[in-house]
DNA sequence: CGTTTTTGACCTGCGC
DNA sequence: GCGCAGGTCAAAAACG
Protein backbone atom coordinates (compact mmCIF):
# COMPACT_ATOMS: atom_id res chain seq x y z
CA UNK A 1 0.00 0.00 0.00
CA UNK A 2 2.62 2.44 1.03
CA UNK A 3 4.87 2.17 -1.94
CA UNK A 4 2.33 1.48 -4.55
CA UNK A 5 3.63 1.64 -8.06
CA UNK A 6 1.93 4.63 -9.51
CA UNK A 7 -1.06 4.03 -11.67
CA UNK A 8 -1.81 0.40 -10.85
CA UNK A 9 -4.01 -0.30 -13.77
CA UNK A 10 -5.86 -3.53 -14.19
CA UNK A 11 -3.82 -6.41 -15.38
CA UNK A 12 -5.77 -6.63 -18.57
CA UNK A 13 -5.36 -2.97 -19.25
CA UNK A 14 -1.71 -3.24 -18.53
CA UNK A 15 -1.32 -5.78 -21.26
CA UNK A 16 -2.99 -3.79 -23.98
CA UNK A 17 -1.93 -0.39 -22.80
CA UNK A 18 0.28 1.53 -25.11
CA UNK A 19 1.49 5.00 -24.65
CA UNK A 20 1.41 7.55 -27.38
CA UNK A 21 2.98 10.94 -27.26
CA UNK A 22 1.28 13.39 -29.52
CA UNK A 23 3.25 16.49 -30.33
CA UNK A 24 0.25 18.69 -29.85
CA UNK A 25 -0.25 17.37 -26.41
CA UNK A 26 3.00 18.69 -25.16
CA UNK A 27 1.51 22.09 -24.72
CA UNK A 28 -1.69 20.76 -23.29
CA UNK A 29 -5.21 21.09 -24.55
CA UNK A 30 -6.34 24.40 -25.88
CA UNK A 31 -9.62 24.22 -24.02
CA UNK A 32 -8.04 23.14 -20.80
CA UNK A 33 -7.13 26.19 -18.90
CA UNK A 34 -4.32 25.05 -16.70
CA UNK A 35 -3.36 21.92 -18.49
CA UNK A 36 0.23 21.17 -19.18
CA UNK A 37 1.94 18.12 -20.55
CA UNK A 38 -0.90 15.96 -21.68
CA UNK A 39 -0.06 12.38 -22.45
CA UNK A 40 -2.36 10.20 -24.42
CA UNK A 41 -2.64 6.60 -23.52
CA UNK A 42 -4.43 3.94 -25.41
CA UNK A 43 -6.21 1.89 -22.86
CA UNK A 44 -8.21 -0.45 -24.99
CA UNK A 45 -9.14 -0.74 -28.59
CA UNK A 46 -12.66 -1.38 -29.71
CA UNK A 47 -12.03 -2.20 -33.31
CA UNK A 48 -14.27 -5.20 -33.12
CA UNK A 49 -17.58 -3.51 -33.54
CA UNK A 50 -20.34 -5.82 -32.57
CA UNK A 51 -23.83 -5.23 -33.71
CA UNK A 52 -25.63 -3.12 -31.26
CA UNK A 53 -29.17 -3.81 -32.21
CA UNK A 54 -31.77 -4.45 -29.60
CA UNK A 55 -33.88 -7.52 -29.37
CA UNK A 56 -31.49 -10.27 -28.52
CA UNK A 57 -31.37 -9.48 -24.86
CA UNK A 58 -30.17 -12.85 -23.81
CA UNK A 59 -28.68 -13.29 -20.43
CA UNK A 60 -28.69 -9.63 -19.61
CA UNK A 61 -31.64 -7.99 -18.05
CA UNK A 62 -32.12 -4.77 -19.91
CA UNK A 63 -30.71 -5.87 -23.20
CA UNK A 64 -27.84 -3.55 -22.61
CA UNK A 65 -24.97 -5.01 -24.49
CA UNK A 66 -21.44 -4.79 -23.40
CA UNK A 67 -20.02 -3.25 -26.47
CA UNK A 68 -16.33 -2.88 -26.55
CA UNK A 69 -15.87 0.80 -27.10
CA UNK A 70 -12.52 2.36 -27.66
CA UNK A 71 -11.12 3.96 -24.60
CA UNK A 72 -8.54 6.67 -24.41
CA UNK A 73 -6.77 7.84 -21.34
CA UNK A 74 -5.35 11.28 -20.90
CA UNK A 75 -2.84 12.05 -18.29
CA UNK A 76 -2.86 15.76 -17.82
CA UNK A 77 -1.07 17.92 -15.37
CA UNK A 78 -3.67 20.39 -14.33
CA UNK A 79 -5.04 22.16 -11.31
CA UNK A 80 -8.67 21.65 -12.20
CA UNK A 81 -10.46 18.34 -12.21
CA UNK A 82 -13.01 19.14 -14.84
CA UNK A 83 -11.38 19.63 -18.18
CA UNK A 84 -13.55 21.58 -20.57
CA UNK A 85 -13.40 19.82 -23.90
CA UNK A 86 -16.40 21.53 -25.47
CA UNK A 87 -18.86 18.77 -24.72
CA UNK A 88 -21.55 18.73 -22.10
CA UNK A 89 -21.19 16.10 -19.41
CA UNK A 90 -23.56 14.92 -16.75
CA UNK A 91 -22.05 13.41 -13.68
CA UNK A 92 -23.68 10.13 -12.80
CA UNK A 93 -21.44 8.64 -10.20
CA UNK A 94 -18.48 8.96 -7.97
CA UNK A 95 -16.57 6.15 -6.40
CA UNK A 96 -13.50 5.88 -4.29
CA UNK A 97 -10.96 3.50 -5.71
CA UNK A 98 -8.41 1.61 -3.74
CA UNK A 99 -4.83 2.78 -3.57
CA UNK A 100 -6.04 6.24 -4.34
CA UNK A 101 -7.17 8.82 -1.87
CA UNK A 102 -9.04 10.81 -4.46
CA UNK A 103 -12.37 9.57 -5.73
CA UNK A 104 -13.07 8.83 -9.34
CA UNK A 105 -15.87 10.67 -11.06
CA UNK A 106 -18.02 9.23 -13.81
CA UNK A 107 -19.47 11.45 -16.48
CA UNK A 108 -21.70 10.81 -19.44
CA UNK A 109 -22.39 12.90 -22.50
CA UNK A 110 -25.78 14.56 -22.29
CA UNK A 111 -26.37 14.37 -25.99
CA UNK A 112 -29.18 12.05 -26.92
CA UNK A 113 -27.96 8.83 -28.39
CA UNK A 114 -24.38 9.64 -27.63
CA UNK A 115 -23.24 7.01 -25.21
CA UNK A 116 -19.85 8.45 -24.63
CA UNK A 117 -18.60 8.16 -21.10
CA UNK A 118 -15.60 9.51 -19.37
CA UNK A 119 -14.09 9.21 -15.97
CA UNK A 120 -11.85 11.64 -14.22
CA UNK A 121 -9.45 10.68 -11.53
CA UNK A 122 -6.71 12.52 -9.76
CA UNK A 123 -3.67 10.60 -8.70
CA UNK A 124 -2.95 10.66 -5.02
CA UNK A 125 0.73 10.31 -5.69
CA UNK A 126 0.93 13.36 -7.86
CA UNK A 127 -1.82 15.71 -6.95
CA UNK A 128 -1.21 17.72 -10.07
CA UNK A 129 -2.00 14.85 -12.39
CA UNK A 130 -5.51 14.33 -13.64
CA UNK A 131 -6.31 11.18 -15.59
CA UNK A 132 -9.23 11.55 -17.92
CA UNK A 133 -10.44 8.40 -19.63
CA UNK A 134 -12.77 8.69 -22.58
CA UNK A 135 -14.91 5.79 -23.66
CA UNK A 136 -16.47 5.90 -27.10
CA UNK A 137 -16.52 8.41 -29.88
CA UNK A 138 -18.88 11.35 -30.03
CA UNK A 139 -21.38 11.22 -32.82
CA UNK A 140 -22.08 14.93 -32.81
CA UNK A 141 -20.09 18.11 -33.01
CA UNK A 142 -19.07 20.17 -30.07
CA UNK A 143 -21.20 23.02 -28.88
CA UNK A 144 -18.49 25.47 -28.16
CA UNK A 145 -15.53 26.36 -30.21
CA UNK A 146 -12.86 24.22 -28.67
CA UNK A 147 -10.26 25.01 -31.28
CA UNK A 148 -8.52 21.95 -32.55
CA UNK A 149 -9.78 19.54 -29.99
CA UNK A 150 -11.76 17.70 -32.60
CA UNK A 151 -8.67 17.39 -34.68
CA UNK A 152 -6.93 15.87 -31.76
CA UNK A 153 -9.77 13.43 -31.42
CA UNK A 154 -9.32 12.53 -35.04
CA UNK A 155 -5.70 11.89 -34.34
CA UNK A 156 -6.72 9.68 -31.49
CA UNK A 157 -8.83 7.58 -33.80
CA UNK A 158 -5.98 7.23 -36.22
CA UNK A 159 -3.47 6.35 -33.58
CA UNK A 160 -5.70 3.82 -31.95
CA UNK A 161 -6.84 2.06 -35.06
CA UNK A 162 -4.29 -0.68 -34.85
C1' DC B 1 -38.86 25.33 -13.00
C1' DG B 2 -35.67 22.44 -15.56
C1' DT B 3 -31.28 20.54 -15.30
C1' DT B 4 -27.29 18.85 -12.92
C1' DT B 5 -24.97 17.15 -8.73
C1' DT B 6 -24.91 14.44 -4.76
C1' DT B 7 -24.92 10.22 -2.43
C1' DG B 8 -26.10 5.67 -0.83
C1' DA B 9 -27.91 1.53 -2.63
C1' DC B 10 -27.67 -1.81 -6.01
C1' DC B 11 -25.46 -4.73 -9.57
C1' DT B 12 -21.71 -7.42 -11.62
C1' DG B 13 -17.28 -9.56 -12.45
C1' DC B 14 -13.65 -11.84 -10.31
C1' DG B 15 -10.60 -13.99 -6.93
C1' DC B 16 -10.32 -16.88 -3.09
C1' DG C 1 -20.55 -19.18 -2.63
C1' DC C 2 -18.97 -15.15 -0.53
C1' DG C 3 -16.75 -10.87 -0.25
C1' DC C 4 -14.31 -7.18 -2.35
C1' DA C 5 -13.74 -3.67 -5.85
C1' DG C 6 -15.42 -1.16 -9.39
C1' DG C 7 -19.39 0.71 -12.17
C1' DT C 8 -24.27 2.41 -12.47
C1' DC C 9 -28.97 3.88 -10.89
C1' DA C 10 -32.00 6.87 -9.02
C1' DA C 11 -34.16 9.99 -5.60
C1' DA C 12 -33.61 14.16 -3.62
C1' DA C 13 -30.99 18.23 -2.97
C1' DA C 14 -28.73 21.99 -5.12
C1' DC C 15 -28.13 25.28 -8.60
C1' DG C 16 -29.13 28.97 -12.15
CA distance A129 to A97: 16
Residue A79 located in a structural domain: yes
Region of A30 on the Ramachandran plot (φ > 0 left; ψ -120 to 50 alpha; else beta): alpha
**Mean pLDDT (chain A, rounded):** 64
Residue A35: inside a domain, yes or no? no
A65 within some domain: no
A119 CB less than 7 Å from any atom of strand C: yes
pTM of the model: 0.72
- Domain CATH code at residue A101: 2.20.25.80
In a domain, residue A75? The reply is yes
- Domain membership of residue A100 (yes or no) is yes
b/e for A108-120, b at 16 or more Cβ within 10 A? bbebeebbbbbbb
Give a yes or no: residue A52 inside a domain: no
In this prediction, residues A109-133 reach a mean pLDDT of 82
Q: CA A87 to CA A111: how far, in whole Å? A: 9
Residues packed against strand B, CB within 7 Å: A 60-61, 88-95, 110
pLDDT attached to residue A105: 92
Q: Is A130 contained in some domain?
A: yes
Amino acid sequence: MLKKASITMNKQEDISTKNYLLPNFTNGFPGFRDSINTTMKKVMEGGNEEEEKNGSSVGKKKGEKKVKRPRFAFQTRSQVDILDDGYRWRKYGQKAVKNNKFPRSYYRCTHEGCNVKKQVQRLSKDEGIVVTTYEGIHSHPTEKNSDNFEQILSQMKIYTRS
